[in-house]
């Protein structure tokens, strides 16, 4: 898994592309990007399929100079973190962590 950041200082946004490789993507029918930027709504921001390789991706534009917690929500029941996240933040009183992207 990975993420790619493209800053646009003129507009004050960063386009962040989240990528899930084929070997993980093929295990799930539906994967959504969920986080601070969409109020943790599990029904928005679905990943799209790439052309042939089988990986999935989604891009979002986020205001720069901030940080956002997020996770991947798979098939309505499984939460995954991004191994290449900028940081991992503990979720209070749970023993779990959220991924964080800093833009």
Distance CA 92, CA 69 (A): 13
Domain map (residue ranges) of the chain = 2-102
Q: How far is CA 47 from CA 10, 11, 12, 27, 93, in A?
A: 27, 25, 24, 14, 29
| Architecture, CATH, for domain 2-102 | Sandwich (2.60)
pLDDT of residue 52: 73
CB-based burial of residue 52 (10 Å sphere; 0-12 exposed, 13-18 middle, 19+ buried)?
exposed
pLDDT of residue 1: 87
pLDDT tens string, the chain, 103 residues long: the values are 899 999 999 999 999 999 999 999 999 999 999 999 999 999 999 999 886 789 999 999 999 999 999 999 999 999 999 999 999 999 998 989 999 999 9
Instruction: Please list the residues that pair with 32 across neighbouring strands.
Output: 46, 73
């Amino acid at each position: 898994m990975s993420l790619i950041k493209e800053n646009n200082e003129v507009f004050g946004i960063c386009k962040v592309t989240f990528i899930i490789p084929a070997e993980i993507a093929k295990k799930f029918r539906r994967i959504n990007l969920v986080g601070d930027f969409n109020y943790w709504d599990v029904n928005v921001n679905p990943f799209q399929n790439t052309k042939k390789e089988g990986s999935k991706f989604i891009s979002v534009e986020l205001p720069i100079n901030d940080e956002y917690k997020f996770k991947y929500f798979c098939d309505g029941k499984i939460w995954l973190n991004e191994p290449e996240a900028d940081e991992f933040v503990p979720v209070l009183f749970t023993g779990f962590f959220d991924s964080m992207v800093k833009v």
